[in-house]
Structures are given as structure tokens and as C-alpha cells.
Amino acid sequence: MKGDPTLERIAQDNGLALRAAGSWTAPFASLLEDMVSDAERLAGTRPNIFIDVSQISKLDTFGAWLIERLRRSLARGGIEARIAGLSANYASLVDEVRRVKAPPAPGIASLTITGMLEQVGRSVAGISETFIGLIDMLGAVLAASGRVLLHPRELRLTSTVHHLEQVCWRAVPIIVLITFLIGCIISQQGIFHFRKFGADIFVVDMLGVLVLREIGVLLVAIMVAGRSGSAYTAELGSMKMREEIDALRTMGFDPIEVLVLPRMLALVIALPILAFLGAMAALYGGGLVAWLYGGVDPEAFLLRLRDAISINHFIVGMVKAPVMAAVIGIVACVEGLAVQGSAESLGQHTTASVVKSIFLVIVMDGVFAIFFAAIGM
Amino acid sequence: MAQQNSDAIIRVRDITVQFGSTRVLDGLDLDVRRGEILGFVGPSGAGKSVLTRTIIGLVPKIAGRIEVFGVDLDTAEQATRRAVERRWGILFQQGALFSSLTVRQNIQFPVRENLKVSQRLLDEIMVAKLGMVGLRPEVADRYPSELSGGMIKRVALARALALDPELVFLDEPTSGLDPIGAGDFDELVRTLQRTLGLTVFMVTHDLDSLYTACDRIAVLGNGKIIAAGSMADMQASQHPWLRQYFHGKRARAVMG
């Protein structure tokens, strides 16, 4: 190809002479690098080398640096390289690269056993920090709620309603659809297995208790954590990244009061509503399958349901909902406000928000189960 | 002055850009000549950034032709387009550094993706580019969130220069820099233009930059270029906005 760079040995009375020609530019960088390292070897132990660069048609930083690299490595071997014929256009570029220092070694973390143990230790120590962070946020939210209770005018109603629309109203279709399907599946599986014992009708008991007491609220909480918790973290996180939260603070606003409280409030109102709608959809789906697949007609289903469940089951489910909402909200806001400057950090905290809130929601559910069993509900 | 080479490296003809019902650029013509530093000014919201983004191909236009290095980017094939994109470098207003990569990785990214180069040369070129923009090699392993505003601009310029482009777009390079930093930056652009033979398309509001760095100035107004020429032409112009801009209080302070 025309313009390809070359570095040839030319005749010279005493010592070694090289002539560089062609286009010493970025597209040929790997070729140039090979030529330069060949030249380093060729130099051997001669006291000086003459390099003629007058034939170079085009030079950029890559080419200029490689010439400089050759000069330096020769100099380290005690060989003086004389570079001649540099065109005036490129003189300042060559001067520029002459000032380049050696690159610093990249700080690569070494993989050692102690390093891994240290990582484990740090993660374990991090758990307590996470809890302190959550309790800290809980306290801050409660304090902000207290202030708002004393001065109800300070409640950001517009913002709360906006978030309520986002997390409640817009979530209804997907939540209803999924819980409806779950109800269908529970009912179908129940009938399929209970039939062996001739106990088809007990599927109504199972469905009623499971949906109202456990699955309904738990499933909805998990879906809300994935849907709205992640959104909260991402919103607050990107506001943090762009210093919007600092701006709020310097204007004399409390970010907890302006950003966190309306979101928490919306979630605490939304989750019981969604859990209720979800439970109804699951019962409806279950009843439909019981009728079409198990031959339990709607009248018999309702009668059985009335006998099987008490108001207690419903109360147990509904009491859990706002608590789970608070857990999801607090985790989401803590993670959102912990986001650092990079896009990667935003992703990590959003993941952490969803994982932690689902984990805590399930733990809470277990704690509630023990509590309600103890008080006999 | 730059070489008086009149061949245009960017040729913009009759382009129109519209957002909804607002017409931002309306039949605009512009030439950028090889080897010059073109300063591009105009009132805020006049569409300076839009024109830059249209030339780069980030904003769709509804009419007109744009040629860069003699290639019409609309009709060019993918490979030709990529070849053109390799020959330009862009400094975005906010730097647009990749926040999850270190300074080193940010600068090496375009080189690594486009050329087959050893890690050693990548590191050396990275340090050379950092040096060119006036940064010490020690910042190489910092993340963008750990840099000051001025440093972000410099690293972003180093990244724009990574592949030794022939053409660089600078979108308000000196905004947000202190006057000394901005002065250094102008000097830097000037030096780079001399050493690397760059053509520079610079959107700016900085009168000092226009005065010290630019060979030619183009002024945008009402979706068109209302004037283009040297600083002296601008000062002699009778256009009301130009008079205000180049003879205002701040302009007098700059020009003494």
C-alpha cells in the first residue's frame, strides 16, 4: 500500500544509519511498533546512530512517540541517536512528546487469599452499616413525619399524589394480572392433588387462607419492590449524581421531607390497596379455575369460602402491607442517596435496593407469622 | 494564521432542523476550512449546539446537505461513515466521560476499539495525550467523579484527541473554567492546532477565546449564519447583535 511507513538501514560510513519514511500515523501503529523494536535490537553496541526522518510524509502523536521511544531506549543502552531532517511542521509535535513521562503502572488489585478474606470481612462489617443506615433513615423519616403532623401545611401533597399515581394507579393492571394468574395456578394445583383424596372442596380453604394471609401481600410487596423500589432508587440516585440533592439542601430544604417523605407516604398508602386488589384478583382467578376445572360452582365456592376464612385472615394480610411498604421505601431511599458519581454505582445501588428490600420483606413476613401465631390470630 | 488553504473540510449547505413546530436552523450554509480554528458564536438558544450535533449526525435534519472530508454522511455507507468518524474528535459540553471507566480507560477506549496496539503503547500514548492537555500522569487511575470540572474538560479533550483526529468539535470548551484555566485552554487549543495540524470547530461564548484562539468567527442568528469573517470584520459589522456582542462592556474589557 502506498504511504506505508518504513524504517530502513541505509549506507553510512561509520556507525549505523536508519531512514524513516512514509506515513508514521495511528493506523499503522502496530506495524511501527514492530519496526521500532527491530531497530532497537539492530543497534547493538554502536556508540551512535543516525536517524533520517526527512522522508516521513505524515507524522502524528503515535509516530512521533515511537521515534521518541526508540531514542530513549537507545539512550538507556548508552547509544546516542541523532535525529535529522525533521520538517518544521512536526518540530513542535516532537518537542511535545519529548516531555512525556513514563506511564504509571496501573493499580491492579492482586488476587490473594488474604485479599479475599479481607473482602469477606469487609462485607460482613458492611451488614451492620447497612442496618445502621436503614435505622438512620427510619428515624429521619419519622422525624420528618412528626414535623409534618405538627404543621400539616408542609406536607407536599402534589408530590405525594403524583407518586401515588405512579406506584398505585399505574401498577394496578400488572398486579391484578399477575395475582389473578397465581390464584388460577394455586387453585389448579390444589384441585389436581386434593382430588386423589376426594377433597376437592378444600382447595377453597387453601386458596382463601393462602391468598389473604400470605401469598397475596407477599407477592404484591415483591412486585412493588421490583417496580417502584427500583424506580425510587434510580430517581434519587441520578438526582444525587447531578448534585440536585445538594442544591435542595443549600436552599434550606430537607431532602427527606421533600423527596423521601412523599414517596414513602405514597408507598404506604399504595401497598394495602394493591394487596387488597391482588387478593381479590387471586380469589377470582382461583374461583374461576375451581369452577371450570374442578367443577366447584361459584355458589358452593362462596359458601365454602365464607366458612373457611375469618376476618382475622384478612386483617393479618392487611396489617402487614403498610409495614412492608415502609421497608421497601426506606431501603430504596437509603440506596438512592448512597449513589456515587458513576453510572455503574447507580446500577449497583438499584440492584442492591431490590435485592435487599425483597429479602427484608420475606424476613418481615416470617416475623409476622411468628407474632400472629403467638397471639393466636 | 493558519495555512491559507481554502478547501473546506466541512461543507454545510442549506440545512434545516426543526423540533416540533420550532424551526431552529433555517437554510443554513457554512464552510469550515482545513487548518483553521473557527469560533462559532450566537445568542443562547440560537442553535449553536444543535448545528454541531447536526453535523456530527446526532440530530436529524429535514433538508440540506452536509459533507465532512468531502463525504456526504447521509448517503455514505456504514464503513465510510466510520472512517470519517475516526478522523474527528468531539468534546461535549459536559465532557461526557464514561463514568464507570478511569481516565486511563476513557482515553484508551477509542484507540483500543479502532487500532490493534500493544498495551504498552496504549499506556504511553495515554500519558502523551494527558501531557498535551496539561495533566500529570498521576490522574490516570482516577474516575471522572473524582476530577474537578476543569480536569474533566481536559481529559475529555485528551479523549477527543486520542486517535489524532484531523478535525475536532469543541462545545463550549472554556465554560465553567476559571479565567486562567480558560486562557490556558485557549493556548492549548492553539498549540494543538499548530502541532497536530488540527481543524477546530469551536462553539463558545468566551470573548477571550474568540480573540486569542480563533482564526475566523461565524455568528448564528435566526437559524442562519448572519456573519462570518475575522475578528476585525466582526468589530466593523453594523449588525445590531454583533455590535452589542463585540462592543459591549465585556468586549471592551477584553480588547482594551
A90, A212: one domain: no
Sign of CA dihedral B102, B106, B107, B109: positive
Position B123 in a domain? yes
Position B50 in a domain? no
Strand blocks (E) in B86-140: 88-91
Position A232 in a domain? yes
> Is ipTM strictly over 0.85?
no
Position B188 in a domain? no
Position B118 in a domain? yes
- Model confidence band, residue A185 (pLDDT cutoffs 50, 70, 90): very high
Q: What are the angstrom distances between the C-alpha of A113 and each of A117, A122, A197, A225?
A: 6, 14, 57, 36
A205: helix, strand or coil = helix
Verify whether the Cβ–Cβ distance A92 to B194 is below 8 Å.
yes
Residue A109 buriedness (CB in 10 A; 0-12 / 13-18 / 19+): exposed
B187 close to A (CB below 8 A): no
pLDDT tens digit sequence for B39-69: 888 887 778 888 888 888 888 888 888 888 8
A211, A312: one domain: yes
The answer to which of A151-160, A181-190, A257-266, A327-336 has the lowest mean pLDDT is A151-160
Using DSSP bridges, classify how beta strands B216-221 and B224-229 pair: parallel, antiparallel or unpaired: antiparallel
Query: How is residue B128 written as a grid cell?
Result: 502523551
Query: How is residue B61 written as a grid cell?
Result: 435534519
Position A123 in a domain? no
Verify whether the Cβ–Cβ distance A33 to B100 is below 8 Å.
no
Position A134 in a domain? no
**Beta bridge pairs of residue A6:** A21
DSSP string, A226-289: IIIIHHHHHHHHHHHHTTHHHHHHHTT--HIIIIIHHHHHHHHHHHHHHHHHHHHHHHHHHHHH
Nearest to A344 among B100, B117, B161 (CB): B100
More confident of the two residues A17 and A257: A257
Q: Residue B29 and residue A212: Cα distance in Å, rounded?
A: 70
On whether the CB atoms of residues B156 and B95 are closer than 8 A, the answer is: yes
Question: Does the pLDDT of residue A131 top 50, yes or no?
Answer: yes
A160, A91: one domain: no
pLDDT given for residue A2 in this prediction: 52
On whether the CB atoms of residues B169 and B51 are closer than 8 A, the answer is: no
How many other C-beta atoms can be found within 10 angstroms of the C-beta atom of residue A298? 11
Position A115 in a domain? no
Read off the pLDDT of each residue in B66-78 and give the average, rounded to a whole number.
83
CB hemisphere CA count around B50 (13 angstroms): 23
> Which residue segment(s) compose the domain that B151 sits in?
100-164
pLDDT given for residue B3 in this prediction: 40
Position B63 in a domain? no
- Model confidence band, residue B192 (pLDDT cutoffs 50, 70, 90): confident
Query: How is residue B108 written as a grid cell?
Result: 484508551
* CATH number, domain containing residue A87: 3.30.750.24
Closest CA to A329 of A217, A218, A223, A233: A233
Tracing cell 522522508 back to the chain, one arrives at: A55
pLDDT tens digit sequence for B126-170: 888 888 888 888 888 888 888 888 888 888 888 888 888 888 888
Closest CA to B115 of A23, A59, A97, A31: A31
Q: How far is CA A170 from the centre of its chain?
A: 23
Position A196 in a domain? yes
Residue type, A134: L
pTM attached to this predicted model: 0.72
Q: Residue A38 and residue A358: Cα distance in Å, rounded?
A: 61
Position B228 in a domain? no
Looking at residue B150, what DSSP letter applies?
H
Position A132 in a domain? no
Verify whether the Cβ–Cβ distance A89 to B121 is below 8 Å.
no
A110: helix, strand or coil = coil
Verify whether the Cβ–Cβ distance B137 to A33 is below 8 Å.
no
Sign of CA dihedral A151, A157, A158, A160: positive
Position B108 in a domain? yes
Position A209 in a domain? yes
A342 close to B (CB below 8 A): yes
Residue A335 phi/psi, 5-degree rounding, is: -65, -40
Q: How close does chain B come to A23, measured CA to CA in Å?
A: 13
- Model confidence band, residue A1 (pLDDT cutoffs 50, 70, 90): very low
Q: Residue B233 and residue A68: Cα distance in Å, rounded?
A: 43
- Continuous segment of H or E residues that includes residue A17: strand A16-24
On whether the CB atoms of residues B64 and B12 are closer than 8 A, the answer is: yes
Nearest to A65 among B124, B143, B145 (CB): B124
For A:32-51, CB contacts with B below 8 A are 33
More confident of the two residues A233 and B172: A233
Q: Residue B96 and residue B89: Cα distance in Å, rounded?
A: 13
> What percentage of chain A reaches a pLDDT higher than 90?
49
A340, A200: one domain: yes
Position B133 in a domain? yes
Question: Does the pLDDT of residue B184 top 50, yes or no?
Answer: yes
How many other C-beta atoms can be found within 10 angstroms of the C-beta atom of residue B100? 18
- Continuous segment of H or E residues that includes residue B103: helix B103-114
pLDDT given for residue B253 in this prediction: 66
Structural domains counted in chain A: 2
Angle (CA) A163-A138-A162 rounded to 5° is: 5
A108 close to B (CB below 8 A): no
Question: Does the pLDDT of residue B6 top 60, yes or no?
Answer: no
Count of pairs with CB atoms under 8 A, one residue in A, one in B:
91
- Model confidence band, residue A14 (pLDDT cutoffs 50, 70, 90): low
Verify whether the Cβ–Cβ distance B99 to A25 is below 8 Å.
no
Which residues, in sequence order, are CB contacts of A263 under 8 Å at separation 6+? A163, A232, A329, A332, A333
Structural domains counted in chain B: 1
> Which residue segment(s) compose the domain that A221 sits in?
149-374
pLDDT tens digit sequence for B241-253: 878 777 777 766 6
In chain A, whose CA is at the least distance from the CA of B117? A30
Position A49 in a domain? yes
Using DSSP bridges, classify how beta strands A6-10 and B22-33 pair: parallel, antiparallel or unpaired: unpaired
Helix extents (H) in chain A? 29-43, 61-76, 88-98, 113-150, 157-167, 172-194, 203-209, 216-224, 230-241, 244-250, 255, 261-292, 298-308, 311-337, 343-374
